[in-house]
Amino acid sequence: MRSKKDIQDIYNILGELYPNAYCELIHESAFQLTIAVMLSAQTTDAAVNKCTSVLFSKYDDVYKMNNASEEEIYDIIKRLGLAKTKAHNIKLLCAKLIAEFDGNVPNDFDALVTLPGVGRKSANVILSCWFKVPAFPVDTHVERTCKRLRIASKDDTVLAVEKRVCKALMPEQYYYMHHRLIFFGRYMCKAQKPECDKCPLTKYCTLIKSK
C-alpha cells in the first residue's frame, strides 16, 4: 500500500493536472444537489444535468417538487437508469424533508443517510460539496483510480478506500482529492482505454506494472 508521502505526492500531482476540479452536477441549493446526486446513480453527470435543467426549472425547491406527481417527475427523468425507483424516492424524500426537517436538507451524516435514495456516498457528496464539511465520497471513478494507483488494495470495499484516503490526507484536502480523482478517472484514467501515454502518475500505477 502507498505511504502517506506517496498519497500526498499523488494529491499534488493531480492538483497540477486538474487545478480547478469541481462538482459537475449543476445545482443551486442543498436540495437540488441532493436530487442531482440521487439521480446520478448508474448514469453520467452530463445526463443528470440535462434532466435537472428541466426538472429544476419546474420544481426548484422541496415544496414545489413535493406537489409534483411521481408520474410528472418520472416523465422528466425517464431517460436515466432506474428512473422509476428514482422518481419514487424523490417523492419519499420530499415528504420526509418536509415532515421531519422543516423542508431543509440536514447538515449531518447520520440524518442524511436516513433519507430515501441517499446512501453513504451521496451523504458525503452533500456534506462536502454543499456544507463544506470534510468528507470523502467514493464513487466508481475514485474507487478505480485509487486501486490502480495502489492507494487502496484491489479487494478493498468502498468504505475501506474512504478510510485509507482520509487517514493519509488532512481533512481540508478531502474535497480537492475527491474532485481531482473524479476528473482523473473521468477524463484520463478511464475504465476502458485509459490515456496512459499522457498520465503523470505512471510510476505509481499497478496497471502499467502488470503489463
Closest CA to 142 of 4, 9, 21: 21
Measured from the CB atom, is 93 or 205 closer to ligand SF4?
Answer: 205
Site for ligand SF4 in 125-164 (CB under 6 A): 148-149
**Binding residues with ligand SF4: total (CB under 6 A):** 13
Does 188 help bind ligand SF4 (rule: CB under 6 A)?
Answer: yes
Structural contact between residues 118 and 33, judged by C-beta atoms closer than 8 angstroms = no
Name the H helices within the chain.
4-17, 30-39, 45-58, 62-67, 70-77, 83-101, 109-112, 120-125, 140-148, 158-168, 171-187, 206-209
Rounded Cα gap, residues 39 and 83, in angstroms = 8
Closest CA to 127 of 144, 142, 115: 115
First and final C-alpha spacing in the chain: 19
Does 181 help bind ligand SF4 (rule: CB under 6 A)?
Answer: no
21, 55, 182, 199: which one binds ligand SF4 (CB under 6 A): 199
111, 160, 166, 196: which one binds ligand SF4 (CB under 6 A): 196
Does 205 help bind ligand SF4 (rule: CB under 6 A)?
Answer: yes
Measured from the CB atom, is 58 or 209 closer to ligand SF4?
Answer: 209
Does 17 help bind ligand SF4 (rule: CB under 6 A)?
Answer: no
113, 202, 210, 211: which one binds ligand SF4 (CB under 6 A): 202
Which region among 29-37, 71-79, 130-138, 192-200 touches ligand SF4 (by CB under 6 A)? 192-200
Structural contact between residues 56 and 94, judged by C-beta atoms closer than 8 angstroms = no
Footprint on this chain of ligand SF4 (rule: CB under 6 A): 148-149, 188-189, 194-196, 199, 201-202, 205, 207-208
